[in-house]
Amino acid sequence: MKICIYGAGAIGGYLGVQLARAGADVSLVARGAHLAAMRERGLTLLAGEETHTVHPRCTDDPTALGVQDTIIVTLKAHSITGVIEKMQPLLGPHTRIVTAVNGIPYWYFYKHGGQYENSTLESIDPGGRQWRELGAERAIGCIVYPATEIEAPGVIRHVYGNNFPLGEPSGEITSDVQRLADLFVAAGLKAPVLDRIRDEIWLKLWGNVCFNPISALTHATLDVICTDPATRALSRAIMVETQAIAETFGVKFRVDVERRIEGARKVGAHKTSMLQDLERGRPMEIDPLVTVVQEMGRLTGIPTPALDSVLAMVTQRARIAGLYDGISTSSDPRALAVA
């Protein structure tokens, strides 16, 4: 199986090392100093007391790689539209695209059923370009639970976790998704194949939608957000609104709000990805984690006053810092564009 990891940063690099060690034919698309270091010295993973270095193909030019069996997209979700054209040489008639990104993926309403079948969400896929040009039919869902970081160019540190749940949008256990799961397991990863992948997407998003923007506004870590009475109550209010929206689309949550908040509290003094991006001067994932929930709420007619307030503030915070280039958050409902 020829696998291209597109966006081989912290998570993509971790996957690249593990899959290469398992004998997979892996190529990495990266850029800048990180790419230069990987070309010169290989890609190194620091995992506890262990150090592993691999030497996969690394490039910033996807045309050099040819058609792939599987593309694992580990970019920030808001970056995908900008690389659609560059990804085209990797796509063949049977190529599958694994969306290992945070938030709601571009293919969400593919084989969803109901009135929103084959629809796109403007906040995450402006103009439906990802749906049309990457192809919703190619998608395999993936939720990323591990925490990793780039310690230095060409060096990835694994902090915790190795779980990457996978699933077809249709819920079927196809040979493609099973073969990918088997490869992940051979690489020392957990990769349960789920028949309701959207439930798992929302379970992770449930925390991201509140903890990420609150952390960017307060600079607080998860333990503080989840124990301070005010920020805990605000998180709960946003989660209740989010749950109501998700359940309208048939999503089932396997834990309740309080248990989800407690799970985040137990992570400890962890900075969310949005806070890390803010501190490092990188664009924040506001649209795929927060705006999209607001958009889906407006589609269902469910009010989101707590989310609206936090979204307005974090968007303004990002604009002041020059770290936001997404869609504007207006009070007008956004309509779905049918693909």
Asked whether residue 188 is assigned to any structural domain, the reply reads yes
121 and 203 both lie in a single domain: no
78 and 100 both lie in a single domain: yes
Residues belonging to the active site: 204
Tokens of 128: 């439906």
Band (pLDDT 50/70/90 cuts) for residue 337 is very low
Q: What is the pLDDT of residues 225-256, one digit of tens each?
A: 999 999 999 999 999 999 999 999 999 999 99
Asked whether residue 331 is assigned to any structural domain, the reply reads no
Q: How many domains is the chain partitioned into structurally?
A: 2
What's the predicted TM-score (pTM) here? 0.92
Asked whether residue 336 is assigned to any structural domain, the reply reads no
Q: Is pLDDT at 28 greater than 60 in this prediction?
A: yes
**pLDDT above 90 coverage of the chain, percent:** 90
Residue numbers of the domain that contains 209 = 198-321
Please write down the long-range contacts of 79-87, taking CB distance under 8 Å and 24 or more positions apart. 79/7, 80/106, 80/130, 80/134, 81/125, 81/126, 81/129, 81/130, 83/6, 84/129, 84/130, 84/133, 84/134, 85/133, 86/62, 87/6, 87/62, 87/134
How many beta carbons lie within 10 A of that of residue 266, not counting itself?
10
